[in-house]
Amino acid sequence: MKVLVTGGAGFIGGNYVQYMVNKYPNYHIVNLDLLTYAGDLTKHKEIENRENYSFVHADIVDREKIFSLFKNEKFDYVVHFAAESHVDRSIKEPDIFVRTNVVGTQVLLDAAKSINVKKFVHVSTDEVYGELDYDPSTFFTEKTPLAPNSPYSASKASSDFFVRAYHETFGLPVNITRCSNNYGPYHFPEKLIPLTISRVLNDQKVPVYGDGKNIRDWLHVYDHCTAIDLVLHKGINGEVYNVGGHNEKTNLAVIQTIIRALNKNENLIEYVEDRLGHDKRYAIDPTKLEELGWQPRYSFETGIEQTIQWYLDNKEWWQNILNGEYRAYFKKQYKL
Ligand code: NAD
Ligand code: TYD
């Protein structure tokens, strides 16, 4: 099987590429990535010379290049992660979110249709459902109407509709996964958990938006990888699967957990102006995916411990990101 993974230099796509290369020696995994600020190939040093792995530097919006790649490579499966993914950036610069997340997805769908791929998995987010209130008995299910609130989630919801339309109109075999917030190794230090770990380790203040009471449902990235693997191989064509492990935490509780684990003082917490349109709460009902056979391995408690230890053991990786040195590696290794 030949599998195209888009966005495989990013956080979740990167973990997924490593998972697939190791789990399926008989598959060929092609990682396609534009290497934006969020793309980093240093994480793939251990697999970059494996026979079942290759990297393609390309923009998913570049129709000509994407079509010629699909024609030459004849992929069996496409797993689509590539996206602009940060809500704060989408508030400042929505245009690029439409370009990459909507137009880029539509180009890939057309290319996938042109060679009749066996499955197109679109990796989406629970943020397309909008927000929940603080009633702990309410959850997002696959039937919850889409009501995105940020330019990021609006662009992801638009791409979800295109994926659905290509299934309904052209019969393209697709699945959409909608996962809650991920965390774990190689998480880019602009997002809450790696930002907190890296700043606390450097004795820098941690900015908490608003009152810190907003709730996110955290899933370890390794559990997201197994969910996508299952959906790729067993998902029923045309179906949407929510992915989450019932790990709801307030932002403040997440930050306090990290500060305590690192033996630092809570006076590092700094309340700052709230994010515009800040969604109150996300929480996933994963029953449909569990019925397909998925179970997460990590609770928040075991997952955050593993993640903090990973950031302690891999300081060089995130410090290079913070000071931009990883760009030099790309230049040397890939002439990019
Ligand atoms: P990320 O920002 O870490 O990585 C995105 C990757 O896409 C980067 O490597 C970047 O270089 C690449 N990319 C961006 N524009 C591109 C383009 N035009 N052409 C080719 N490559 C391009 O993102 P992430 O957190 O790993 O998220 C991956 C996917 O999972 C996204 O689609 C996101 O919406 C979804 N998702 C993320 C989370 C989360 O908590 N991070 C949760 C649920 C779903
Ligand atoms: P983030 O990691 O950006 O993910 P998302 O917005 O996709 O959920 O943010 C997670 C939560 O943490 C969100 O409620 C915003 C909040 N937050 C802060 O309070 N301070 C920060 O510096 C960041 C980056 C996020």
The backbone torsions φ and ψ at residue 295, rounded to the nearest 5 degrees and listed phi first, read -140, 135
CATH assignment at residue 293: 3.40.50.720
Instruction: Please choose, from the candidates 162, 126, 166, 163, the residue with its C-alpha nearest in 3D space to the C-alpha of residue 146.
Output: 126
Residue type, 100: T
Residue 54 has a pLDDT of 98
What residues are labeled active site?
126-127, 152
- pLDDT of 332 > 90? The answer is no
Mutate which of 5, 42, 81, 183 to test ligand 1's pocket (most atoms within 8 Å of Cβ)?
81
Per-residue model confidence (pLDDT) at position 333? 58
Q: Is the pLDDT of residue 311 over 70?
A: yes
Q: Residues 276-298: pLDDT tens digits?
A: 999 999 999 999 999 999 999 99
Whether the CB of 216 sits within 6 Å of ligand 2: yes
3 state DSSP class of 81: coil
Name the strand (E) or helix (H) holding 172: none
Whether the predicted pLDDT of 335 surpasses 90: no
167-211 pLDDT per residue, tens: 999 999 999 999 999 999 999 999 999 999 999 999 999 999 999
pTM, full prediction: 0.97
Torsional sign, CA 265, 267, 273, 274: positive
Q: Distance, CA 1 to ligand 2 centroid (Å)? A: 37
> pLDDT at position 57, please?
98
Distance 209 CA to ligand 2 centre (A): 8
Q: What DSSP character marks residue 275? A: P
pLDDT of 171: 98
- Mean pLDDT of all residues in 304-311: 98
Higher pLDDT, 328 or 14: 14
Give the structural domain span for 169. Answer: 2-334
Token pair listed for 276: 């515009």
How much is the average pLDDT of 121-149? 98
Confidence check: pLDDT of 216 > 70: yes
How far apart are the CA of 249 and the centre of ligand 2, in A?
12
pLDDT surpasses 80 at 154: yes
Which residue type sits at 175? N
Q: 88 and 273 in contact (C-beta within 8 Å)?
A: no
Query: Hey, which of 216, 257, 269 would you mutate to test ligand 2's pocket, going by the most ligand atoms within 8 Å of its Cβ?
Result: 216
Question: What is the count of structural domains for the chain?
Answer: 1
Q: In whole angstroms, give the CA distance from residue 150 to residue 307.
A: 28
pLDDT at position 336 over 60: no
In this predicted structure, what is the pLDDT of residue 324?
Answer: 78
Most distant CA pair in the chain, distance = 57
Angstrom CA distances, 75 to 67, 69, 87, 112, 173, stand at 11, 9, 31, 8, 13
Mean pLDDT of all residues in the chain?
96
Residue 331 has pLDDT above 90, yes or no: no
Pocket test of ligand 2: the residue of 84, 124, 192, 280 to mutate, having most ligand atoms within 8 Å of its CB, is 192
Phi, psi of 219 (to 5 degrees): -125, 135
Query: Which residue's C-alpha comes closest to atom 13 of ligand 1?
Result: 82
Ligand at shortest distance from the CA of 14: 1
255 lines ligand 2 (CB under 6 A): no
> Relative to the CA of 275, which ligand 2 atom is closest?
15
pLDDT, average across residues 62-81: 98
pLDDT of 330 reads: 58
Residue listed under structure tokens 């600020």: 37
Q: Judge whether 247 and 299 are in contact, CB under 8 Å.
A: yes
